[in-house]
Amino acid sequence: MAIIDLVKWNGNPNLMAWKFPSEELSTWTQLIVNETQEAYLVKGGVYEGPFLAGRHTLSTKNIPLLTTLMGLPFGGQSPFSAEVWYVNKQTNMDIRWGTPDPIQLQDPQYKIVVPVRAFGQYGIRISDAKKFLMKLVGTLPAFDTETIANYFKGIFTTRIKTEIANAIVKQGESILTVSTRLEELSEMLKSSLLPNMDEYGVALSNFSIISINVPEDNPGYKKLQEALAKKTEMDIIGFNYQQERSFDVMQTAAGNEGSMGGMMGAGMGMGMGVGMGVPMGNMMGNMAGQMNMGNQQQMGQQQMPAQQMPQQQAPQQAPQQPAASQAGYQDKIQMLKELAELKAQGILTEEEFATQKKLILG
């Protein structure tokens, strides 16, 4: 095979490392190295270099190992065999990454388990060419950014999942708001990954998380979105969940038979809405308490032995009756006041007010 007189980079610019295809060199071979490159001569596993930017003549003056590899003079040249490796030291800024499978996490605020995905990009450059060649490249004829991404894929995936899980689970950040911390998380991940990459002579020039998201078709995520949409709607109209539940209860009661259901049905028909919530709730509570007290008194009378019944009419019990009557009277007055307030608000008509007044007094 002919001896090569000139060696220079003929590889793809996207390659991070490239080996010159021929190993037949001589002490007169010219080695051309560009500004963004370094070159190494490799013989028997021994790396000689680096050869920096410029033109180099391979000789015993700059390659000490050749003193033991010199052959017989051949046309004024001393032939020898060795590999020539080039390392591209340009920074590659557009290497993509992504979580291969979703991370199952429970939102700390809403307690819903959803699958979280993340993706972004990073940039690298070769910081130690000799270490990079020895630990990563090995005997491969070329080494590109895709190969590097595959090498670091496992490390990246583990660290990314850990940091995102810590932000959501341990730090209490909701899945819906974690995107506001992308810059902070990116810096944390970059600092975490630097030592692992430096071990192979690779520097991480930048690292960014572009998105942390949840699949739109996930049932848990849909449920969470619907709940938040409902909350936003109620906040806008000045409504809350408790008021909505009270409104639902009143609608149900309005459909029931009886005087209370009839009164509430009439009020609902007139659009009593939120304004009725507090006074109506108080009135219902008082009326229920009054009815309960009456029931208890009636049950006490039914269970009392016959021979004790006349004692209820005894003069010694008379002083206690006015106190009970006074308490019942005050409750009725309070309920009438609340009814009057509903009538003043236009929720009850004059006839409805009169009907309910009779029920209370009767």
The answer to whether residue 293 is domain-embedded is no
Are both 12 and 54 inside the same structural domain? yes
Q: Give dist(CA 211, CA 175) in Å, integer.
A: 12
The answer to whether residue 51 is domain-embedded is yes
Are both 264 and 199 inside the same structural domain? no
Domain housing 31? 6-87
* Residue ranges in the chain modelled with pLDDT below 70: 1, 60-62, 64-77, 233-329
Q: Which two tokens stand for residue 141?
A: 């004829």
Are both 29 and 69 inside the same structural domain? yes
Separation of CA 28 from chain center: 62
The answer to whether residue 27 is domain-embedded is yes
The answer to whether residue 128 is domain-embedded is yes
What pLDDT score was predicted for residue 218? 79
Are both 21 and 109 inside the same structural domain? no
Are both 153 and 255 inside the same structural domain? no
Q: Give dist(CA 191, CA 185) in Å, integer.
A: 10
Are both 181 and 99 inside the same structural domain? yes
Evaluate whether 29 touches 7 at the Cβ level (below 8 Å).
yes
What pLDDT score was predicted for residue 198? 93
Are both 162 and 115 inside the same structural domain? yes
What pLDDT score was predicted for residue 252? 56
Evaluate whether 143 touches 17 at the Cβ level (below 8 Å).
yes
What pLDDT score was predicted for residue 255? 53
User: Please, which residues bridge with residue 14 across strands?
Assistant: none
- Which of 39, 12, 16 lies closest to 152, judged by CA? 16
What pLDDT score was predicted for residue 358? 83
Are both 119 and 212 inside the same structural domain? yes
Of 52, 87, 122, at which residue does a domain stop? 87
Are both 101 and 214 inside the same structural domain? yes
Phi, psi angles (nearest 5°) of residue 30: -95, 130
Are both 130 and 208 inside the same structural domain? yes
What pLDDT score was predicted for residue 289? 52
The answer to whether residue 73 is domain-embedded is yes
What pLDDT score was predicted for residue 113? 84
How many domains are there within the chain?
A: 3
Are both 158 and 245 inside the same structural domain? no
The answer to whether residue 229 is domain-embedded is no
